[in-house]
Amino acid sequence: MALAYPRHSIQLCVSIFPTTIDQPPSLPLHEPSTNTTTPSQTPRSHHTLRTEAAAFIGEFIGTFMFLSLAFTGTQIALNAAGSKELSGSGDPLPDVAKLLYIAFAFGASLAINVAIFADISGGKFVTIPLYLTRKIHWHRATQTILSQLLASIAASAFTSALLPGPLTIATTLSPSISLTRGLFLEALVTSQLILTILMLEGGWAKPMYIGASLFVAHVCSVYYTGASLNPARSFGPAVVGGFTGYHWIYWVGPLLGSAVASAVYVGVGWLRRERGGV
């Protein structure tokens, strides 16, 4: 049987008898309650469950809307009359208008949906770096990743059903770039996006900066790699339309870029603390 000594009672006894009492005075024994759930804990547990559910749903809806809008823009651009698909057998000269169209579709869509859903889910559509920098817990990271993957599949199927023509939103490598170069290009543009998200303070303008960062990343990489920057972006179209033999680079590249950006963020923060910076 456990003995329960109220903390305030012990402190009171010590303050009254500072030198003459060697042992705590005998306190009435009582049987601890077998029901460890207090009325104040039950609503809190329910509140936590609702919070986690809201975060999962918010991340799913936000990812679905972001990818649906971006996929739609990509599908329209790649199926435009007289255009040649980026994933074709040849390697045509870049169609600047087409590439800017795709980049704007992704950048603007991300900016809008981060502004809407970031406070609900906290994911901002990037999860691993937020977990590595201890901004979210492992259980939130797990459910966010699952939510993004499911939303990507749903958005890909939705785009395929909504618009005519073959599904052309898959991320594919240009014939002129090697696997190694494609992997490191994905890592580079991903790290740029992640640093934007981690380094910027919160505020009404942050979603616009994040969207602009994704826009720049697409301008730099969409012609050569399709600009994944997030495994979920490539996974959904691959599930609906088929996997390529090099699909793995759209996991390794973004994860590598996320790890590098997280290390830079943590290192810079440590240096600022050492220098007394704010």
* Domains delineated in the chain: 48-274 (1.20.1080.10)
User: Directed axis angle between helix 249-274 and helix 206-225, to 10°?
Assistant: 140
pLDDT greater at residue 240 or residue 90: 240
Residue 133 pLDDT more than 70?
A: yes
**Predicted model pTM:** 0.72
Residue 20 scores a pLDDT above 70? no
Please say if the pLDDT value at position 70 is more than 90: no
228-231 long-range contacts (CB < 8 A, ≥24 apart) are 228/171, 228/186, 228/253, 228/254, 229/186, 229/189, 229/190, 229/193, 229/254, 229/257, 230/125, 230/126, 230/148, 230/190, 230/254, 231/149, 231/255
Tokens read off for 192: 């740029």
Q: Tell me the percentage of the chain whose pLDDT exceeds 70.
A: 73
Alpha helices, DSSP H, located in the chain? 7-16, 41-78, 96-121, 128-132, 138-162, 179-199, 206-225, 231-241, 249-274
Mean predicted confidence (pLDDT) in 224-241: 95
